[in-house]
Amino acid sequence: MRSTSLSLRCLLAILLCFALFAGGQLYAQVSAGGDIGSVLFEASSFSSTETVVGKGWSHWSPRQETSPSFFVADQPSRDGTGSLGIRGASKSVVNGCWNYLVQGVKAGEFYQFESFYFTRRVDNPRHQVMAMLDWRDADGKRVDQPEYVADQGSEGQWSKVGGVYRAPKGAVSARMKFFLRFCPQGTVWWDGISLARVDAPPQRKVRLATVSCRPRGNSSAEENVEEFCRV
């Protein structure tokens, strides 16, 4: 009886972890199909001779010691009109982002987010370059967990991130964030940014599976992991 109870608790824990993960990623894998509704935000033109700070754009870092260098560049650009740049500034713990607060979000509605980035001397873009949608309420406080925007391949030399996400209850705005992290010698340029309301994606069936396994007789954590993987 005790073993059955333990297995049941493990099963419930696995399902809970899956549900929490899927909640943030469910709509990130949906294709960009559907009728495009109102465009809340679109930016594909930046000029190095004009400042974007104070015009809706700002930049952030946890503290000055980790702050990268932020700049606006005429090149590279997807359409020849500039991009937002972040440089590692030779800081091993560099971590910072450009961000913009988009108003007009409606809770329960679906939004298509899209952006492109180009990198130089970035060894692991999946972990060092990131875009995020951070839902906010009327008081500017975070609502639910932010969306870590998924990779969507590339177009030419530019990598694409994007997806379709549902605004959580209480959300009236979304803060778009574009990061460079832990890449002291790297540089990233962001361009082609948009956020638009779209139709709800079609429902789809999914298949879930769980494995109950308690490794026995192994001599190391590595052997335990290998047993789990075989199962």
pLDDT tens column, 91-117: 999 999 999 999 999 999 999 999 999
At 58, list the tokens: 């700002």
User: What DSSP state is assigned to residue 123?
Assistant: S
At 67, list the tokens: 């702050």
Instruction: State how far the Cα of 61 lies from the Cα of 98, in Å rounded to an integer.
Output: 9
The SS3 of residue 63 is coil
Instruction: State how far the Cα of 42 lies from the Cα of 59, in Å rounded to an integer.
Output: 18
Secondary structure percentages of the chain, helix, strand, coil, to 5: 20, 40, 45
Which band of pLDDT confidence, cut at 50, 70 and 90, is reported for residue 209?
confident
Rounded to two decimals, the pTM is: 0.74
81 vs 7, residue with greater confidence:
81
- Cross-strand pairs, 39: 196
The SS3 of residue 12 is helix
> What pLDDT is recorded for position 35?
43
Per residue in 152-186, pLDDT (tens digit) is: 999 999 999 999 999 999 999 999 999 999 999 99
Residue 56 has pLDDT above 70, yes or no: yes
Residue holding tokens 């949906």? 30
